[in-house]
Amino acid sequence: MSDSALDKARKRTGKMTGAEAIIRSLEAEDVTICWGIPGGAILPLYDAFMRCDHSIQHVLVRHEQGAGHMAQGYARATGKVGVCIATSGPGATNLVTPIADAFLDSTPLVAITGQVPTHLIGTDAFQEADITGIVMPIVKHSFLVQRVEDIPRAIHEAFHIASTGRPGPVLVDIPKDLQQAEFEFAYPEQVELPGYSAEFPDVPASIAAAATLIAQSKRPIIYVGGGVINAEASEDLILFAETLQAPVTTTLLAKGAFPDSHPLSVQMPGMHGSKYANWAIHRSDLLITIGARFDDRVTGKLDAFAPGAKVIHFDIDPAEISKNRRADVTLLGDLKRTLPALREAVVETKNAERIANQRDWLTDVQDWRKENPFRYMKGEKLKPQYIVEQFDRALKGKDAIWVTGVGQHQMWAAQFLSIDGPRRWLTSGGLGTMGFGVPAAIGAQQGCPDAYVVNFDGDGCFQMTSQELATAICYDVPVIHAVMNNGWLGMVRQWQELFHDERFSETNLFGTIPDFVKLAEAYGCLGLRAETEAEVDAVIEQAIAERRPTVIDFRIDHDEKVYPMVPAGAASHEMIDQVWDNDWVEEGV
């Protein structure tokens, strides 16, 4: 919306129903698109969508989980708040998974749910579920609106809370009778939240202490999490890293926050991260942690993680400081302030001298990197890593957004894609939600219509949310869903093979998987298939050229595993790997 239109929306007053007030409030928050499904308790809102003049596009999805993940994909690709809508009871409970996902991955999401009329609350009425109670541990905040006059304020505060500080999901539950009631609308100018602040005072002493730790460090490493993306601080990070000349490792959530192709990048740490990232962390004497939270998939055995390192921790959330790993110096607040502040302080120290002294460190890291790239063995069967590489090549230089499901395919994509900008890699990290890919990719594409959006999905994941292909067709959303079809719940199979004596309990999907090409066609999508390397480029090219909703069924080697790997509970530098012969392919980062 233009600034003047937005200003007008915020100044609007007049008599209206609660339902219209929801729409006017969304307009005042500059919402242009939202996702949902109607039902009894939210009917007045849907009626108002049709009755009122407004500028919001409502996308009708096929399952509320899809609405939630689409809103998430949109939010993460654009940086704006994603909005999803559901009716009471089952509609609201279907949003639980995306809400939990948004909570763990700090995604700004506002969920609006209808609730049974106020006089029926607490009576086990038809489609009544205590949704604010259900989501309590997985939201940043929630509102159960009790008076129609409170609707604008609740929505205003919901957007404020969802989008500031550490972003997260906020649920606004609105009883049906309040949607129908009339009142005098006015949009609040300010929020009244005495218990909430996302502002932190500058602490010059901490900046000085951090600069001193850096000056004393011989083996620093910068450990970057998704916070950098939420703070829009990628440029500041690049300048900071270049000033320090320290290697940079980006977590699964942070992929793209620092360019994969940058000479200082050591890519992903953790369970399926690079050997050189994990080794560099292990040997480092200073861990400069920026918007990351020492997740167990990154640290492995916590006591053995970066055992010789002091820790500088930048974060916007005080509760992350010293939660899992004690911080020696804390820098709280907006990275756009703290990163440049520390950089300036570092420039004031004898930085050039320090860089000269740490030359061996950088050489060591570069050598590890050269000798231990992500790699895979060629064979007769189609290798998933090859498909990722070919997609990466095909879209080089174009604006591409990469989305994934959860499993082996997710890790192969994380390892073999080279992504150089923020908000171009969307994956479910904290919750690890199978089914995230299809809807998140659709939402991302709707937020970025000119980008090429590719969803690397698994055959298991794809079947969890493939109904949203119908949504893609209805709204003409040309995502390419590249299904890595290995006939297995592959990641679980990998654990069974390695740690459970090959007892493949309930992980074989083979023979029960529908024909994905026919499925695609049934929805009206383009359906393609590749079974050998030779066929890969042609299907990729065709999918990119046709630019319509597309599913590609890649029949990959079901025996392929994700390596290297830190077994659960092991120290992060103790990675297992397969035995290589000479027939491996080096990744060209």
Which residues are known catalytic residues? 64, 126-127, 176, 491
In the Cβ-directed half-sphere of 141, how many Cα atoms lie within 13 Å?
19
Least Cβ distance, residue 287 to other proteins (angstroms): 19
**Residue number with CB closer to ligand TPP (293 or 493):** 493
Least Cβ distance, residue 214 to other proteins (angstroms): 20
204 binds other proteins (CB under 8 A): no
Q: How far apart are CA 135 and CA 445, in angstroms?
A: 28
Q: Give one DSSP letter per residue of 307-337, joined into a string.
A: TT-EEEEEES-GGGTTSSS--SEEEES-HHH
Nearest to 38 by CA among 16, 64, 13, 17: 64
Query: Could you say which of other proteins, ligand TPP, Mg ion, none residue 203 binds, taking C-beta under 5 to 8 angstroms by partner kind?
Result: other proteins
The piece of 10-18, 188-196, 225-233, 507-515 that touches other proteins (CB under 8 A) is 188-196
Judged by CB under 8 A, the residue of 69, 80, 141, 282 near other proteins is: 141
Task: Taking each helix axis as running N to C, give the angle between helix 96-104 and helix 64-78, from 0 to 180 degrees, rounded to the nearest 10.
Answer: 30
Judged by CB under 8 A, the residue of 183, 200, 475, 495 near other proteins is: 200
**Residue number with CB closer to Mg ion (220 or 384):** 384
64 binds Mg ion (CB under 5 A): no
As given in the structure block, the two tokens for residue 74 are: 């949109």
As given in the structure block, the two tokens for residue 244 are: 């320090």
Site map 454..483 versus ligand TPP, x via CB under 6 A: ----xxxx----------------------
Nearest to 172 by CA among 197, 194, 189, 150: 150
**Residue number with CB closer to Mg ion (198 or 492):** 492
216-232 exposure pattern, b = at least 16 Cβ within 10 A, e = fewer: ebebbbbbbbbbbbbbe
**Residue number with CB closer to ligand TPP (474 or 492):** 492
**Residue number with CB closer to other proteins (285 or 317):** 317
Judged by CB under 5 A, the residue of 44, 168, 458, 564 near Mg ion is: 458
Strand partners for 529 = 553
The piece of 28-36, 137-145, 334-342, 484-492 that touches Mg ion (CB under 5 A) is 484-492
Question: Interior CA angle at 205 toward 203 and 210, to 5°?
Answer: 100
Helix (H) or strand (E) holding 82: strand 82-86
Least Cβ distance, residue 332 to other proteins (angstroms): 6
Cα–Cα distance list, 39 to 42, 44, 135, 563 (Å) = 6, 9, 20, 46
**Residue number with CB closer to ligand TPP (73 or 407):** 407
Least Cβ distance, residue 462 to Mg ion (angstroms): 9
**Residue number with CB closer to other proteins (78 or 164):** 164
Residue for token digits 């409502």?
Answer: 58
207 binds other proteins (CB under 8 A): no
Cα–Cα distance list, 197 to 143, 333, 336 (Å) = 18, 11, 17
Least Cβ distance, residue 94 to ligand TPP (angstroms): 13
Phi/psi for 484 (5° steps) reads -85, 90
Residue for token digits 């049906």?
Answer: 176
**Residue number with CB closer to ligand TPP (142 or 410):** 410
406 binds ligand TPP (CB under 6 A): yes
Least Cβ distance, residue 460 to Mg ion (angstroms): 5
Residues 24 and 16: beta-carbon distance below 8 Å: yes
As given in the structure block, the two tokens for residue 262 are: 């940058």
Amino acid at site 125: A
Cα–Cα distance list, 515 to 293, 457, 467, 512, 553 (Å) = 41, 15, 14, 9, 8
Least Cβ distance, residue 317 to other proteins (angstroms): 7
Count of residues engaged in binding Mg ion, rule: CB under 5 A: 6
437 binds Mg ion (CB under 5 A): no
Nearest to 589 by CA among 268, 244, 251, 221: 268
484 binds ligand TPP (CB under 6 A): yes
Question: Interior CA angle at 204 toward 199 and 209, to 5°?
Answer: 120
Q: Give one DSSP letter per residue of 232-272, joined into a string.
A: T-HHHHHHHHHHHT--EEE-GGGBTTB-TTSTTB----STT
Site map 76..115 versus other proteins, x via CB under 8 A: ----------------------------------------
161 binds other proteins (CB under 8 A): yes
486 binds Mg ion (CB under 5 A): yes
Query: Could you say which of other proteins, Mg ion, ligand TPP, none residue 181 binds, taking C-beta under 5 to 8 angstroms by partner kind?
Result: none
140 binds other proteins (CB under 8 A): yes
Least Cβ distance, residue 495 to Mg ion (angstroms): 13
Count of residues engaged in binding ligand TPP, rule: CB under 6 A: 19
209 binds other proteins (CB under 8 A): no
In the region spanning residues 326 to 345, those forming contacts with other proteins, defined by CB under 8 A, are 330, 332
Judged by CB under 6 A, the residue of 489, 519, 526, 528 near ligand TPP is: 489
Query: Could you say which of other proteins, ligand TPP, Mg ion, none residue 406 binds, taking C-beta under 5 to 8 angstroms by partner kind?
Result: ligand TPP
Cα–Cα distance list, 153 to 49, 148, 184, 192 (Å) = 20, 10, 13, 9
490 binds Mg ion (CB under 5 A): yes
**Residue number with CB closer to ligand TPP (245 or 427):** 427
Strand partners for 571 = 300
Q: Which residues are near other proteins by CB under 8 A? A: 132-133, 136-137, 140-142, 144, 146, 161, 193-196, 200, 203, 317-319, 321-323, 330, 332
Q: Which residues are near ligand TPP by CB under 6 A? A: 405-409, 432-434, 458-461, 484, 486, 488-492
